Structure 1
């Protein structure tokens, strides 16, 4: 029989954590859409449409994810997050969708500030 409490091993997931996950997915998809829509097909559109989200996912996995390969401080994580989310917002702006770009940027910034304050408080 296990001696640990059932809630000890489970990480606490709050509403902002769910929002941040959805923002990540939206940013990755946005970079793909931007690559395919903003550049001529087949080349360089396919390369950028697949490469931009792949690079963003790689950066996220290496530095920002909960199981990141490299452990960096909260400020380093924030810089990577700002780079990925800004690239997605700029992509929407370049596609002629300023409302999507601004709303995404504001929601991502507020979520990032909430998360950063939580991490600094721990």
Structure 2
């Protein structure tokens, strides 16, 4: 039997889930930006700008989303999140340097750790 969460904890979890959604959108945007800036010709850049975030979104929706198409073990979900967020973090490193990369990566790790901690406790 689980104990009900205090209102402050519920509010914190709601904010953390909102941040997770914003980080997911940012990851897709970073992948699109990275694809667009590749010097492979205009058509190639546009294709990569569409396919990189689309591939990440499909992977996320199939395996890592709260209502994912396929149910996989939690460790595998974390692996999918690592691939998507790791790709976005590397894209940011290429695009913006070390400091934005570090901020994004640390925020993703803390957000995911907090969500995982409370998800496994309830």
TM-score above 0.5: yes
Q: Deviation per CA, 1:69-108: give whole Å up to 9, x if none.
A: 0011221111111111110010011124322111100000
- Greater CA deviation, 39-48 or 84-93? 39-48
Tell me if the contact between 1:64 and 1:80 (Cα under 8 Å) persists in the aligned partners.
Answer: yes
Map 1:76-95; keep pairs closer than 5 Å.
76-95=76-95
- Offset of residue 67 of structure 1: 1.2
Number of residue pairs the alignment of both structures matches = 111
Q: Equivalent residue for 2:118?
A: 118
Secondary structure of the residue aligned to 1:70 is coil
Pairing 1:26–2:23 present: no
The 4+ residue runs of structure 1 with deviation greater than 4 A are none
Secondary structure of the residue aligned to 1:14 is helix
Q: Deviation per CA, 1:41-84: give whole Å up to 9, x if none.
A: 31421121110000010011001111110011221111111111
Distance 2:27 2:74 in 1: 20
Q: CA RMSD in A?
A: 1.5
Q: Equivalent residue for 1:97?
A: 97
Pairing 1:15–2:15 present: yes
- Offset of residue 25 of structure 1: 0.3
Q: Equivalent residue for 1:7?
A: none
- Offset of residue 16 of structure 1: 0.6
Q: Equivalent residue for 1:56?
A: 56
Q: TM-score normalised to the size of structure 1?
A: 0.84
Q: Which has the higher helix share?
A: 2
